[in-house]
């Protein structure tokens, strides 16, 4: 992980557009430019469950998986953070130890803001605080959604929901109803996210193919054949 000064104005724009819609760019920019941006590669770990939070990580580029692990060593991916996003704020803000581990999934640039700076420059800014509550409330909603989903849906339905989420996140060409998407994760990672096993992911993918909702291509590419029925399956 090398050190540079890369997290500049255009990064601030990205954050204010998605993460903190109500914030003005300059608020964030003024703060960001004084802080350290590190580059991490796949497999690196930002923090481990059980550790003390030292500050907040702003993800300027790349992807971070946040997972918890139970006694049996099975991991469960609680959240996938993609730039621009914050990482490590939950434990920090609640004053607890990290309950999860944050692992870099693709080469990432991360702007670390230490405790003192975050308190002084972020938490003292009422506009930021207000945005933060809204952000936390959204996250809480997502977590509760997933809780219900995990409790009440079959693996196939959870997978369908995941696919729909991917579709909606991707910039879709509106020209045709047939869409091709690329799975951004291995079977095993998917299993960790859906709280199941690689084998079951495989079988469910096949089941969806059998029902003619999707078609599997090489290279982890998937053609959405019947997005409508996929969506129907997704919210059951």
Partner DNA sequence: TAGAGTAATTGATGGTGGTCAATTCACATT
Partner DNA sequence: AATGTGAATTGACCACCATCAATTACTCTA
Count of CA atoms in the C-beta half-sphere (13 A) of 62: 27
- Write b or e for each residue in 173-199: b if 16 or more Cβ atoms lie within 10 A of its Cβ, otherwise e: eeeeeebebebbbebebbbbbbbbeee
Of 205 and 213, nearer to DNA (C-beta) is 205
Choosing from 43, 126, 171, 210, the residue that interacts with a second copy (CB under 8 A) is 126
- Does residue number 123 form part of the binding site for a second copy (CB under 8 A)? yes
Q: Which does 202 bind (CB under 5 to 8 A by kind): DNA, a second copy, none?
A: DNA
Diameter of the chain measured on Cα atoms: 56
Among 25, 91, 164, 166, binds a second copy (CB under 8 A): 91
* Residues 49, 52: Cα–Cα separation, whole Å: 9
Cα dihedral angle (44, 49, 52, 58), rounded to 10 degrees? 50
Per DSSP, the three-state class of 88 is coil
- Decide: is 221 part of the binding site for DNA (CB under 7 A): no
Query: Does 73 help bind a second copy (rule: CB under 8 A)?
Result: no
From the list a second copy, DNA, none, partner contacted by residue 33 (C-beta under 5 to 8 A by kind): none
Nearer to DNA, 72 or 148 (CB): 72
Contact set for a second copy, span 25-44 (CB under 8 A): none
Helix (H, G, I), strand (E, B) or coil at 174: coil
Q: Which residue of 8, 134, 188, 220 would you call a contact of a second copy, by CB under 8 A?
A: 134
Contact (Cβ atoms closer than 8 angstroms) between residue 107 and residue 40: yes
Least distance in Å: CB of 2 to DNA?
A: 22
Of residues 75 and 90, the one with the C-beta less far from DNA = 75
Residues near DNA (CB under 7 A), total: 24
DSSP string, 188-220: HHHHHHHTS-HHHHHHHHHHHHHTTSEEE-STT
Pair of tokens at residue 66: 């946040």
Please identify which residue in 139, 187, 211, 215 interacts with DNA, judged by CB under 7 A. 187
Binder among 7, 201, 222, 224 for DNA (CB under 7 A): 201
- Which residues of this chain interact with DNA, rule CB under 7 A? 72, 153-156, 186-188, 195-206, 216, 218-220
């Amino acid at each position: 992980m090398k050190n540079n000064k890369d997290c500049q104005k255009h990064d601030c724009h990205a954050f204010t557009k998605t993460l903190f819609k109500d914030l003005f760019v300059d608020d964030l920019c003024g703060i960001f430019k004084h802080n350290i941006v590190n580059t991490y590669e796949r497999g690196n770990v930002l923090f481990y469950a059980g550790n003390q939070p030292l500050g907040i990580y702003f993800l300027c580029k790349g992807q971070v998986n946040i997972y918890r692990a139970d006694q049996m060593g099975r991991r469960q991916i609680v959240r996938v953070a993609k730039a621009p996003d914050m990482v490590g704020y939950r434990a920090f803000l609640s004053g607890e130890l990290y309950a999860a581990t944050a692992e870099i999934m693709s080469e990432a640039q991360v702007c670390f803001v230490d405790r003192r700076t975050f308190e002084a420059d972020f938490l003292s800014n009422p506009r930021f605080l207000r945005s933060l509550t809204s952000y936390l409330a959204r996250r809480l909603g997502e977590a509760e959604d997933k809780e219900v989903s995990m409790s009440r849906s079959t693996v196939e339905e959870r997978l369908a929901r995941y696919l729909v989420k991917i579709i909606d996140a991707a910039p879709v060409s509106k020209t045709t109803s047939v869409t091709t998407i690329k799975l951004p994760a291995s079977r095993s990672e998917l299993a960790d996210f859906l709280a199941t096993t690689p084998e079951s992911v495989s079988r469910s993918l096949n089941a969806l193919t059998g029902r003619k909702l999707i078609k599997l291509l090489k290279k982890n590419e998937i053609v959405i054949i019947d997005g409508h029925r996929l969506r129907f399956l997704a919210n059951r």
